[in-house]
Structure 1
Amino acid sequence: MESKHVLALLAVVVIVEAFVIGYLAVSNSSLKSDLEQLQSNYEELLNEYNQLMAERFPVTLVDDFGRVVTVSSEPTRIVSLAPSSTEILFALELGDRVVGVTEYCDYPPEVVELKENGSIAVVGGYTTVDVEAVLQLQPDLVVASTSLQRDVVTTLEGYGLTVIALDPHDLSEMFADIILVGRATGKLVEAQQLVQQLESRVQAVVNKVKDLPKLKVYYELWYNPLMSVGPGTFIDSLITMAGGENIFSDASTQYPMVSSEDVIARNPDVIIVPDSYMASYNITVDEIASRSGWSSISAVANGRIYFIDEDIIVRPGPRLVDGLEQLAHLIHPEAFEE
Structure 2
Amino acid sequence: MHFSKQFILHLGLFFLFISCNSKTQRQENFGGISATDSRNKVIHLEQEAQRVVALFEPAVDHIYMLQAGNVLVGIPEQVYLNTSGYEFLSGLDDKIKNKEIATPSFSGRAISAESVLQLNPDLVILYEADSETINQLEGLGLNVYTVSSKNKEAIYLELKGLATLIGKSKRAEELIQYTENELNKINKAPKSDKKVYYAWSKGRIFSTSGKGSLIDAAIEAAGAQNACPLEMEATNISAETIYEWNPDLIILWNSKPEDVYSLKELQALPAVKQKQVYDFSPVFYYDPHTIKFMLFAKQLREWCEPQNTTAENDVKKDLKTLYGL
Q: Give 1:320's aligned residue.
A: 293
Q: Is the 8 A contact 1:79 1:141 kept in 2?
A: yes
The answer on 1:259 being equivalent to 2:238 is yes
Say which of 1, 26, 33 aligns to 1:59. Answer: 33
Indicate the SS of the match to 2:105: coil
1:1-338 correspondence to structure 2 within 5 Å: 58-105=32-79, 107=85, 108-110=88-90, 114-115=95-96, 117-125=98-106, 126-147=108-129, 149-208=130-189, 211-221=190-200, 223=203, 226-248=206-228, 250-274=229-253, 276-278=254-256, 284-285=257-258, 288-289=260-261, 291-292=263-264, 294-309=266-281, 310-311=283-284, 315-336=288-309
Q: Give 1:30's aligned residue.
A: none
Q: Is the 8 A contact 2:218 2:288 kept in 1?
A: no
Q: How has the CA–CA distance of structure 1 residues 131 and 323 changed in structure 2, closer, same or farther, with 3 Å as cutoff?
A: same
Structure 1 segments unaligned to the other structure (5+ residues): 1-54, 279-283
Distance in 1, matches of 2:295 and 2:132, equals 32
Distance in 1, matches of 2:292 and 2:232, equals 25
How many aligned positions are there? 273
Structure possessing the higher radius of gyration over alpha carbons: 2
Distance in 1, matches of 2:271 and 2:196, equals 9
Counterpart amino acid of 1:162?
Answer: N
Indicate the SS of the match to 2:53: strand
Q: Is the 8 A contact 1:235 1:313 kept in 2?
A: no
Distance in 2, matches of 1:265 and 1:162, equals 48
Q: Is the 8 A contact 2:52 2:72 kept in 1?
A: yes
Q: How has the CA–CA distance of structure 1 residues 166 and 264 changed in structure 2, closer, same or farther, with 3 Å as cutoff?
A: same
Q: Is the 8 A contact 2:252 2:278 kept in 1?
A: yes
**TM-score if structure 2 supplies the norm length?**
0.76
Q: Is the 8 A contact 2:212 2:231 kept in 1?
A: no
Counterpart amino acid of 2:244?
Answer: A
Whose RCO is larger (CA < 8 A, sep 6+)? 2
Q: Is the 8 A contact 1:77 1:138 kept in 2?
A: yes
Percent sequence identity over aligned pairs: 23
Report Cα offsets for 1:268-307 as digits up to 9, x if no partner.
1111122x323xxxxx44x633533534433223221111
**TM-score if structure 1 supplies the norm length?**
0.73
Q: How has the CA–CA distance of structure 1 residues 333 and 207 changed in structure 2, closer, same or farther, with 3 Å as cutoff?
A: same
Distance in 2, matches of 1:317 and 1:291, equals 32
Determine which structure has the larger helix proportion and give its number.
Answer: 1
Q: What value does the CA root-mean-square deviation take over the aligned residues? A: 2.4
Q: Is the 8 A contact 1:198 1:321 kept in 2?
A: yes
Indicate the SS of the match to 1:253: coil
Consecutive aligned runs of 4 or more in structure 1 exceeding 3 Å deviation: 222-225, 289-296, 309-315
Q: Is the 8 A contact 2:215 2:288 kept in 1?
A: no
Q: Give 1:9's aligned residue.
A: none
